Amino acid sequence: MQVKILHVVGARPNFMKAAPVMRALASHAGVSQTLVHTGQHYDANMSEIFFRQLGLPAPDVNLEVGFGSHAVQTAHIIMRFEEVALAQQPDLVLVYGDVNSTVAAALVCAKLKIPVGHVEAGLRSFDRSMPEEINRLLTDQVADLLFTPSADGNENLKREGVAPEKIHLVGNVMIDTLIRLLPETEKRRPPVMPAPQSYGLVTLHRPANVDAPEMLVKIMGTLDEISRRLPLIFTIHPRTRQNLQNIGFAPSQASFTLIDPLSYLDFLTLQRHAKLVITDSGGVQEETTYLGVPCLTMRPNTERPVTVELGTNILVGADGARLKMEVARILAGESKPGAVPPLWDGNAGERIAAVIWNFRF
């Protein structure tokens, strides 16, 4: 059997999800793979360095869409990806996660009647004010193969009327990458490397937290205060950096370090040794759960409830007082215990490859 598979990635969190699937499929003779990068993320430290560290091949095609409003970005991906899909005629297109590139490529495939598989299907925050939630809902409605990371995903999809035979519980591909590359962090020295357990790590980039100046001023004030008790390292996403410049923020403490986005391995090194992590990222909630590092998520909800039910994650919302209280508890040695969810075992990519291999094209 000859099967032609096309992978679509665009933004930073897609890269660590595609890598294990491409590796697993590479071991099947008869599968040919093409990698399309939409160019949604284009800075070297948001894209290129990830390709290198994850061992991803250079993209075969780059759509170079860059930044625009959600409508403009999504429309450009749709127009440019349609040409690629028509020229390549793949048997299956795989899309990852919940970014604009994911929904744009899935929609193109649905219209061209090309089967599409969604890796990380079924996650729901039930918060339609988040662009990612819209992307998840629409992608799952048009996908033919839905690969879920946890059982809650299966329940959500069935409730939305997705045929059960399309849904495959495979586990978490992001954790595949973490497990494979964790040994490489043993001797690594990121640009900032405090002693283990002596610092907190911060990432924030959700529009709800960083786009409104009043909210960002409040959050930065709280973090500045926390850094008096626990040194903080804040790795700053490009959208957050722009907004911090707009509000003219500067830390009052030398113990509050602001740095550019880090490579995958540097960030993972800092994560595994952190006393705690403060974030609004989806992937970081999962990685901290696997690593057993306390995670305080600055969101009112999560599409990854398993990280709260089983893992080390606590939702603190935008409540500064709650955040300070949870930090104090962790510093007092009262961290919430956590367990690794089922099937977060490093073999999700292999399970996806097996399902695809048995799919009737």
Q: Which residues bind ligand UD1 (CB under 6 A)?
A: 11-13, 40-43, 46, 67, 98-100, 131-132, 205, 237-239, 242
* Residue 121 near residue 147, CB atoms below 8 Å: yes
Burial of 119 (C-beta count, 10 Å sphere; 0-12/13-18/19+): buried
Least separation in angstroms between CB 206 and ligand UD1: 8
| Cα(40)–Cα(43) distance, integer angstroms | 10
Q: What is the dihedral of CA 51, 56, 61, 67, to 10 degrees?
A: -30
Point out the catalytic residue in the list 37, 76, 118, 205.
205
Task: Provide the token pair at 140.
Answer: 């799952």
Residue 124 or 275 with smaller CB distance to ligand UD1: 124
Least separation in angstroms between CB 320 and ligand UD1: 23
Q: What is the dihedral of CA 80, 81, 82, 85, to 10 degrees?
A: 140
Residue 33 or 139 with smaller CB distance to ligand UD1: 139
Residue 131 or 320 with smaller CB distance to ligand UD1: 131
| Cα(99)–Cα(357) distance, integer angstroms | 26
Least separation in angstroms between CB 244 and ligand UD1: 12
Residue 46 or 138 with smaller CB distance to ligand UD1: 46
Task: Provide the token pair at 155.
Answer: 């329940």
Residue 131 or 194 with smaller CB distance to ligand UD1: 131
Establish whether 205 is a catalytic residue: yes
Amino acid occupying residue 26:
A
| Cα(277)–Cα(256) distance, integer angstroms | 14
Least separation in angstroms between CB 225 and ligand UD1: 26
Residue 2 or 69 with smaller CB distance to ligand UD1: 69
Least separation in angstroms between CB 131 and ligand UD1: 4
Buried b vs exposed e over 137-146: b needs ≥16 C-beta within 10 Å? ebbbebbbbb
* DSSP per-residue string spanning 309-346: HTSSEEE-TT-HHHHHHHHHHHHTT-PPP--PPTT-SS
Least separation in angstroms between CB 24 and ligand UD1: 24
Annotated catalytic residues are: 205
